[in-house]
Amino acid sequence: MPNEIAFYPLAALTVALAVAAMSLRHLVHCALCAAAAFAGLAVVYLQLDAEFVGFAQLLVYVGAIAILIVFAVLLTRGDEVRPGGGHSSRAWMAGVVIAALLLAGIAMPILASPSLDRRAPPAAAAPVKRIGEELMTHYVLPLEMVGVLLTAALLGAVVIALREEPEAKTQSSPPGPKRAEPREAMSL
């Protein structure tokens, strides 16, 4: 099976991209690496037979959130780290050590547990038709709530980002409509 051969390089690539996204100096590089890591995770979802989630991940994360992050990075230009200034917080070493301890604390029990060493059952089809039926019957209330939440988030984000001083209305008006577009795409 090509499936299980592909898993380890893919996992290594995804983790490497995530590390790059968290450690590179240049914010635009970080955003692009994060987008690639999200795409790698989408491929892992496809490998796990969750096609719809994989494509939703591609659309939402690579299509919308990554674009939003790049927009935010470019709109907050002029904030680069000056030469000699650190791009990490003062106690970053403590944070990395805590994260490593956390990883050991999670991964060692996982690898030691015999019940998690199982193989997948043969077929687990999640056809889009069944997902749609479930969404419209069993999960219709959560679906409506998500619709309300996305509308509220859309309005809230526009309100937060659009506030401008009366005298500075000419040079600060372009970011408002520009930032609204990706969020509209997201709520569809």
Partner 1 sequence: MNTPLSHYLVLSALLFCVGFAGAVARRSAILVLIGIELMLNAANLNFIAFWRYGDNPQALTGVMFVLFSIAIAAAEAAVGLALVIAIYRQRKTTRLDAMDSLKG
Cβ-based nearer residue to partner 1, 124 or 166: 124
Task: Give the nearer residue to partner 1 in terms of CB position, either 177 or 187.
Answer: 187
Nearer to partner 1, 152 or 177 (CB): 152
Amino acid at 157: A
Q: How far is the CB of 149 from partner 1 (least distance, A)?
A: 6
Task: In angstroms, give the least distance from the CB of 103 to partner 1.
Answer: 4
How far is Cα 141 from Cα 147, in angstroms, rounded to an integer? 10
Hey, how many other C-beta atoms are within 10 angstroms of the C-beta on 72?
14
CA distances from 159 to 75, 99, 137, 179 (A): 17, 36, 34, 11
d(CA 163, CA 177): 12
Nearest-approach distance from CB 45 to partner 1, in angstroms: 6
**In terms of C-beta density within 10 A (0-12 exposed, 13-18 middle, 19 or more buried), how is residue 47 classed?**
middle
- In the complex, minimum distance from the CB of residue 177 to partner 1, in angstroms, rounded to a whole number: 13
Based on CB atoms, which residue is closest to partner 1, 92 or 177? 92
Instruction: Please report how close the Cβ of residue 166 comes to partner 1 at its closest, in angstroms.
Output: 14
**DSSP assignment string, 98-148:** HHHHHHHHHHHHHHH-GGG-PPPPS-----HHHHHHHHHTTTHHHHHHHHH
Q: Which is nearer to partner 1, 79 or 167 (CB)?
A: 79
